[in-house]
Chain A
């Protein structure tokens, strides 16, 4: 995939294009932006354009093909080994980068998920990141730039990536997946401008199970103790998709919040559930919606930190129904 075939990110493409044509290339870049919007693709396209024998990223020369097949000897690809990128990996990288390039005009290093660098690894990278061997380029990719060391951030040229506009993603989904307009809009809104999410395995969850989930949730009330616990039980079994389900709940209450404040309908996520939304709109207050959203947020926070899942979900639902 060359620059031109990448979807969206016009500004970012422009910047990299200009850097390439004027040879004003920094030795360290930090690509920051949400997951699954195409940071890695962009980085690969950029590197390919540098390594390409025709200087364009033609995809036909041997160098380009090697990049595409992930076996170019001068590209080093670093990802989390287990939960983190460890200091040993960085040391090995430094060793590699101290050598001359084998085929290309420089060595390239892509660190995907730079937020996974351990403290030691990040510190060990600092000197290399500041003054690498001539011809070396390090590209860090991250979705959470704020969690990186400030000393790392300050050594890189930062290139922020935005979420893809909802409409653009929706149009793409209509084309590629043959979805209806409403479905595509809902899916695009729920995946927050991320290709990965929209095209991922959660399509069925987002499109079909959502109705049922939201109906069950909105049917709960403060008195319905037993259904609440049953529902928590159900949710607990959803190991893989639990966070996406929380996303769905969040989107539902957010829609209500927007409706309460008379925002236009296009801004809503669950546009196909207008009936339930309109119905619920009158029976809730802004304060209770905020409490519910807070409950969801704190449940997510705790679930990410290895608590008793069942308990966390029960507490969450109880707080939601009580609000």
Chain B
């Protein structure tokens, strides 16, 4: 067994992990990044379409280009990178953290560090999670696995394809499958509205005349060895053609039915998880319930855009440095979800620092009003033209604002409450 010692170890070498590592290294910490794939960049490497980096770089980059920027940012810094290495265990010992990594090259490596940044990203929900009945043939892929097989390995998963779920990866794959010569026979979405962004609906489906079935679901899978077809039915109606159910013969089924933060090792280390996000519960400086363990990016909550993940990771890296140098975070105020809000991250407001919050709506609607209240008085109110669960909302709250209104309220014990008021509610 080999040993290594760093101020901080980042688990995961995707956009978030690399951004956090760069930030910490830039501020003088000794940092290691542990990545289980052979190369850095994470899932961006297989996202060869463009649309990344509009917020970060004011440019439209492909996934690999965005990843490359994250990697080259490390060039001038002294970040130690371990690729092909999987972290299997974390434990605490006398105020420091121990982390065990395995790779073909290094064998077993024991890291000792003062801080850990969790940046493992997320994984795709699969057939078991949506419980589609029927047979269990080959030819059923999560959209991300299919994307990997097409874009990295250069293979055609099948020729007659149905896609379940209208998440962005599913939409991107509808176009990609068409380009490699497959026929995409339909995208089946259980909700009455698409899960992906409008741009992708237009560019990936409409431009190719691919039908989108809203409020429909796949009710049965057929095929003994290879998938031979699926039954599709309107939601809430039992089968039968009279109800609008129909059969689509196909040889491939792609699932784009949501993402879940990957927190297997966090959970084992005793990190408390949030029931709504599936990621760790973090305070205003992105620290989890275990002192010294931080989290950012998709392992914390699933983001819509990599730009936001990078940005969050940088602020996380900044906080880790404060933690390492003993800077106190000071007083924190609990953040509560109010009406129509699924979750708010982070779960604490720092009274002394700058705060940026991310939240998701539980409903769709136009003319929404974001309202942030502290001790009964409103500290922030903002009009949002349109909200839907698939689009993340963010807002900044400077400490002074919060404090002054808090003083005004005259109450000592109080929470920050974030809610969305929707005059014309379209659905839940």
Q: Do A and B actually bind? A: no
A interface, CB within 8 angstroms of B: none
